């Protein structure tokens, strides 16, 4: 595991070139409302990107597992007997029933409750009742479908659904991320809690807000007293973006409570006592004692490290206008309970403010009045950057399919390899437009 080499760095100064960046427009709003665009993003982006899932410290012993669903792909992570974290599609190789049915659990034998096939923590088929009587049955050819994983030196676990030869290795997709994360001592933190929000907005509506702090002075009063918002800077680094801000070192002012209209004022201005001016109350900065290390991880995730705690966010697109947000919080070892609560309250207040911005924005995006907006070249550079990756990945996949003449789903694994009969039946299915399980056999593009 890692040892922290330094505290998170302060924001870098703006260079002369950065101050002269031209402004550009957002992608059109139709990309935030179309089911076909989301279906396309699934193949073009989500099936090809390294997706952050969790921290390895959540797995204590062999057999500990957590199950997830991402755009309908059901999968689980499990700790193997050798201590590795592996990921598998939650699909029995026999007849596709889910092997794991709980959100989390622990078992070194994974038994399917349909016909009793069992797998070990490495996904190998260990039991298939009565199949020893079947000629030609090879258990080794019926292991669970494995998903590529990468665990960083800091214990952050990522997966990649891409099952093609062209997949991008983690070190290339997130070049530099692992070194940068060494500015924070993840070993000094332990799992505290998780929570989930269900939002009526597109996944990109949330990312738009996440990727800039231009809105912070207006929308986040609490955050704006904890960090010096004028120093906030988003620096794109390929498929991740580092967010910087200088912490406010001194004690901060408590947010003033709402004035009580019965004592502070009256309709006629007399007959009521004025409260004498109170000295301003101060408290310790809930943002902690050092600059943050906050990383947006394309496409939908983030890991945000503060001195009292770090938290991760998994953003799960459900429909073009519905997205689930899953937060996991890890607090500093030994942190007092009231300090934990203070940090969670601080975080949830900021998240709630963002959540409400997204709900109201999406309502307008859905109406077809607005299409694109002008972005500030520096203050909203992160938005421009990630939307550029979205655009490029969608266009590249579109070109790939056009050249191939059929749909391509990089996450597809399939089953019986090189089976002429299965291929023939898939083609027949596509001809009668039933859209079989092999999308690569489809002749027509829909989009």
Residues that bind Fe ion (CB under 5 A): 209, 354
| 137 near ligand FES, judged by CB under 6 A | no
Which of Fe ion, ligand FES, none does residue 117 bind (CB under 5 to 8 Å by kind)? ligand FES
Tell the smallest beta-carbon distance from residue 212 to Fe ion (Å).
8
Comparing CB distances to ligand FES, the nearer of 115 and 395 is: 115
| 101 near ligand FES, judged by CB under 6 A | no
Comparing CB distances to ligand FES, the nearer of 94 and 148 is: 94
Query: For residue 314, what are its two tokens?
Result: 């998994």
> Cβ neighbours of residue 183 under 8 Å, at least 6 residues apart?
4, 5, 6, 7, 8, 9, 293
| 115 near ligand FES, judged by CB under 6 A | yes
| 246 near ligand FES, judged by CB under 6 A | no
Task: Report the alpha-carbon distance of residue 346 to residue 340 in Å, rounded.
Answer: 10
Comparing CB distances to ligand FES, the nearer of 125 and 313 is: 125
Which of Fe ion, ligand FES, none does residue 354 bind (CB under 5 to 8 Å by kind)? Fe ion
Comparing CB distances to ligand FES, the nearer of 34 and 118 is: 118
Comparing CB distances to Fe ion, the nearer of 41 and 354 is: 354
User: In the set 33, 71, 74, 97, which binds ligand FES (CB under 6 A)?
Assistant: 97
Q: CB atoms < 10 A from the CB of 81, how many?
A: 12
Helix (H) or strand (E) holding 194, with range, is strand 189-199
- What is the residue-wise DSSP string for 313-356? EEEEEEETTEEEEEEEEEEETT--HHHHHHHHHHHHHHHHHHHH
Query: For residue 112, what are its two tokens?
Result: 């399917």
Comparing CB distances to Fe ion, the nearer of 162 and 354 is: 354
Tell the smallest beta-carbon distance from residue 147 to ligand FES (Å).
18
- Contact between 328 and 190 under an 8 Å Cβ cutoff? The reply is no
Which of Fe ion, ligand FES, none does residue 112 bind (CB under 5 to 8 Å by kind)? ligand FES
User: In the set 32, 52, 75, 117, which binds ligand FES (CB under 6 A)?
Assistant: 117
DSSP H stretches of helix in 242-336: 261-264
Where does this chain touch ligand FES (CB under 6 A) — which range of 88-96, 192-200, 250-258, 413-421? 88-96
Name the CA dihedral angle for 318, 155, 159, 297, rounded to a multiple of 10 degrees.
60
Tell the smallest beta-carbon distance from residue 98 to ligand FES (Å).
9
| 293 near ligand FES, judged by CB under 6 A | no
Q: 46-76: b or e for each residue (b if 16 or more CB lie within 10 Å)? A: bbbbbbbbbbbebbeebbbbbbbebbebebb
Tell the smallest beta-carbon distance from residue 390 to Fe ion (Å).
19
Q: Which residues is 311 bridged to in the sheet?
A: 304, 329
Tell the smallest beta-carbon distance from residue 116 to ligand FES (Å).
6
Task: Report the alpha-carbon distance of residue 56 to residue 85 in Å, rounded.
Answer: 7
Tell the smallest beta-carbon distance from residue 72 to ligand FES (Å).
18
User: Under the rule (CB under 6 A), what is the footprint of ligand FES?
Assistant: 92, 94-95, 97, 112, 114-117
């Amino acid at each position: 595991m890692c040892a922290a080499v330094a505290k998170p760095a302060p924001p870098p100064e703006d260079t002369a070139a950065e101050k002269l960046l031209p402004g550009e427009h957002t992608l059109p709003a139709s990309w935030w409302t179309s089911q076909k665009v989301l279906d396309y993003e699934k193949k073009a982006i989500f099936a090809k990107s390294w997706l952050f899932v969790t921290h390895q410290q959540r797995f204590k012993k062999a057999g500990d597992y957590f199950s997830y669903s991402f755009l309908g792909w059901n999968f689980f992570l499990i700790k193997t007997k050798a201590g590795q974290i592996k990921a598998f599609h939650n699909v029995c190789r026999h007849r596709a029933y889910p092997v794991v049915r709980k959100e989390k659990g622990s078992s070194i034998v994974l038994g399917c409750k349909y016909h009793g096939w069992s797998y070990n923590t490495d996904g190998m088929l260990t039991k298939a009742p009565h199949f020893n009587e079947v000629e030609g049955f090879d258990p080794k050819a019926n292991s669970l479908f494995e998903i590529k994983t990468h665990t960083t030196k800091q214990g952050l676990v990522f997966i990649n659904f891409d099952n093609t030869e062209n997949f991008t290795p983690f070190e290339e997709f997130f070049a530099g991320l692992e070194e940068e994360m060494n500015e924070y001592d993840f070993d000094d933190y332990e799992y505290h809690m998780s929570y989930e929000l269900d939002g009526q907005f597109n996944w990109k509506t949330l990312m738009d807000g996440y990727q800039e702090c231009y809105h912070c002075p207006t929308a986040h009063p609490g955050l704006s007293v904890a960090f010096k918002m004028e120093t906030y800077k988003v620096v794109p680094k390929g498929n991740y973006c580092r967010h910087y801000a200088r912490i406010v070192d001194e004690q901060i002012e408590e947010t003033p409570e709402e004035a009580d209209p019965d004592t502070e004022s009256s309709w006629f201005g007399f007959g009521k006592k004025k409260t004498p001016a109170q000295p301003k109350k101060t408290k310790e900065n809930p943002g902690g004692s050092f600059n943050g290390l906050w990383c947006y991880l394309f496409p939908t995730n983030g890991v945000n490290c503060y001195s009292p705690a770090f938290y991760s966010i998994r953003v799960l697109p459900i429909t073009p206008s519905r997205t689930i947000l899953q937060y996991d919080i890890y607090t500093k070892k030994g942190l007092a309970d009231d300090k934990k609560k203070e940090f969670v309250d601080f975080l949830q207040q900021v998240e709630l403010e963002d959540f409400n911005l997204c709900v109201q924005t999406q309502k307008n995006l859905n109406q077809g009045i607005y299409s694109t907006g002008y972005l500030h070249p520096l203050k909203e550079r992160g938005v421009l950057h990630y939307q550029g990756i979205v655009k490029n990945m969608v266009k590249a996949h579109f070109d790939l399919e056009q050249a191939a003449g059929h749909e391509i789903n990089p996450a597809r694994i399939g089953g019986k390899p090189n089976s002429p009969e299965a291929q023939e039946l898939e083609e027949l299915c596509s001809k009668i437009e039933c859209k079989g399980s092999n999308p690569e056999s489809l002749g027509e593009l829909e989009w």
